[in-house]
């Protein structure tokens, strides 16, 4: 039993470490192209992009979610070096099925927007929350969603998630895309060990 417990702890540590910025560099994609006709794009940061991608992909009206890096000055950032960038996701959605405001409302419920030091077990600037708006309309909707989220929190802590103007987004390496789908056992072990869902229940209750 002691051996099994030690093995589980070691495996958990390895999985959690996998979401830290120490992976090997791979060729990067180019900056995100504009959406196709009839589609819109939103950019969010919600901690480790495996989880943000997984959760937002399940929202009705979302067409695609891409993991990547945003907010920094580096061109072609990599998992090994994305200093100044935040792990982020590009969300392609159908505005006829879900509005940008509704999508952003949902985003807030998938993160702890009161944590200025990271998200859950992942600490540091690269794992903080953020929203990047691509238009004045998106920015106004994001700010309105932020104000509404404050009323739904189960804590008195302020919301620290910033709303920025969109600058750039760089897709992450291929092995990060659809990580939860490709590696369900590792992903679920990481998510549970990181305490994401338990903290979300503390912050939002059953919302």
What residues are labeled active site?
A: 48
Q: Could you tell me the end-to-end alpha-carbon distance of the chain, in angstroms, rounded to an integer?
A: 38
DSSP letter assigned to residue 89? E
Q: Which of 142, 117, 119, 118 is nearest to 131 (CA)?
A: 142
Phi, then psi, of 193 in degrees rounded to 5: -65, -30
Classified as helix, coil or strand, 121 is coil
From CA 57, how far away is CA 93, in angstroms rounded?
A: 10
For CA atoms 147, 152, 155, 160, the dihedral sign is negative
In 94-162, the DSSP E strands lie at: 118-119, 122-123, 129-133
CB 9, CB 190: distance < 8 Å: no
Helix, strand, coil % over all residues of the chain, rounded to 5:
40, 20, 40
């Amino acid at each position: 039993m002691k051996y099994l417990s030690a093995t589980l702890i070691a495996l958990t540590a390895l999985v959690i470490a996998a979401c830290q910025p120490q992976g090997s560099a791979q060729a990067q994609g180019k900056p995100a192209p504009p959406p196709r006709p009839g589609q819109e794009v939103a950019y969010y940061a919600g901690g480790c992009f495996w989880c943000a991608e997984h959760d937002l992909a399940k929202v009705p009206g979302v067409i695609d979610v891409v993991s990547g890096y945003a907010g920094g000055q580096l061109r072609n950032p990599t998992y090994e070096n994305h200093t100044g960038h935040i792990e982020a996701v590009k969300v392609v959605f159908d505005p006829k099925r879900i509005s940008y405001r509704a999508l952003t409302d949902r985003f807030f419920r998938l993160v702890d927007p009161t944590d200025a030091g990271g998200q859950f077990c992942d600490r540091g600037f690269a794992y903080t929350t953020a929203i990047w708006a691509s238009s004045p309309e998106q920015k106004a909707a994001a700010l309105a969603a932020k104000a509404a989220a404050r009323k739904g929190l189960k804590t008195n802590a302020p919301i620290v998630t910033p709303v920025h103007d969109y600058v750039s987004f760089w897709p992450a390496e291929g092995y990060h895309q659809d990580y939860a789908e490709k590696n369900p056992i590792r992903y679920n072990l990481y998510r549970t060990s990181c305490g994401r869902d338990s903290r979300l229940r503390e912050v939002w209750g059953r919302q």
